[in-house]
Structure 1
Amino acid sequence: MEAVIQEESTGCGIAASAALAGISYLEAKRIANALGIYASDKSLWSETDHVLKLLQELGISVSSKEVPFESWERLPDKALMAIKWRMKQNKPYWHWVVFVREGSEAKVLDSKKALKSNVRQDFGRINPRWYIQVFN
């Protein structure tokens, strides 16, 4: 699985969905927009509904529940994760990333454009709040 770089500063949910589906950011954005989902909508990174709707449209099966993060070892082989979780004006916000374990290698695919590498293994620096299991 490859990281997909977000083309908009608020497009992490679209980019994470694209990475899981194996498509480009622009293709995922086109599909998201057709569903009424736009990166500029702040609910994209403070609610799960839009991303879950996009993933369903892309044929990606995920759990319907958010599971609190306990440890990297206890994560499923694929997960959509909320990192950089914070409260702003009594509303939660986070950055979407993808966790994937392939064989013995675990990595986080982070869509942020400014990163030197969008494939992260600096687990001590990543502070997940919760995750949603990805089944396919």
Structure 2
Amino acid sequence: MPVIQKEPSGCGIAACAALAGLTYDTARSHAAELGIHAGDRTLWSNTAHVRRLLRALDIDTDPNERPFTGWEDLPDRALLAIKWRLINGVPFWHWVVFVREAGESVVLDSKAALKNNVRRDFARMKPKWWIEIGPA
């Protein structure tokens, strides 16, 4: 299930919540205990915070970011960096969750303004890279 972010830069927390099966508020509380806050812009310009939160939620991640080469090349669960851009030389992106289950692939997007947060419009999304998520 997708989790909707409650702050403009809360996509990393929402992605962690979706992967852990938690509400946004619960994941935000876990993040705060680790000193991670949605207002920190490095939450979407660095992977360390999201990796630390996932580790605290007992979710394993591959230690490497892998370049996106195609939807069929993704594992069954992955964090994707979409809307990747440079601002004053610093990379920023929007976190989303890719899930493949029973042969169906979807992207769980936390952006509140979307009509449907379970996305299948793969041609519109332009992932830059991804992180494999360990088994559920």
Q: Fold-level match, TM-score > 0.5?
A: yes
Find out whether 1:52 has 2:51 as its counterpart.
yes
- For the residue of structure 1 that corresponds to 2:128, the secondary structure is strand
Tell me which residue corresponds to 2:105: 106
Give the % identical residues.
Answer: 56
Tell me which residue corresponds to 2:81: 82
* Superposed structure 1 runs of 4+ greater than 4 Å apart: none
- For the residue of structure 1 that corresponds to 2:32, the secondary structure is helix
- For the residue of structure 2 that corresponds to 1:125, the secondary structure is coil
Find out whether 1:116 has 2:115 as its counterpart.
yes
Tell me which residue corresponds to 1:40: 39
String of CA shifts for 1:29-79, please: whole Å, max 9, x gaps.
Answer: 000001000000000000000000000000001100000000000100000
Counterpart Cα distance in 2 of 1:19 and 1:8? 16
Which sections of structure 1, spanning at least 5 residues, go unmatched?
A: none
Tell me which residue corresponds to 2:8: 9
Counterpart Cα distance in 2 of 1:104 and 1:17? 23
Tell me which residue corresponds to 2:60: 61
String of CA shifts for 1:73-126, please: whole Å, max 9, x gaps.
Answer: 010000001000000000000000000000111000000000000000000000
- For the residue of structure 1 that corresponds to 2:74, the secondary structure is coil
Counterpart Cα distance in 1 of 2:52 and 2:133? 14
Which sections of structure 2, spanning at least 5 residues, go unmatched?
A: none
Q: RMSD between aligned alpha carbons?
A: 0.4
Measure how far apart 1:129 and its partner are. 0.2
Query: What letter is aligned with 2:47?
Result: T
- For the residue of structure 2 that corresponds to 1:73, the secondary structure is helix
Measure how far apart 1:135 and its partner are. 1.0
Tell me which residue corresponds to 1:92: 91
Tell me which residue corresponds to 1:21: 20
Counterpart Cα distance in 2 of 1:89 and 1:106? 35
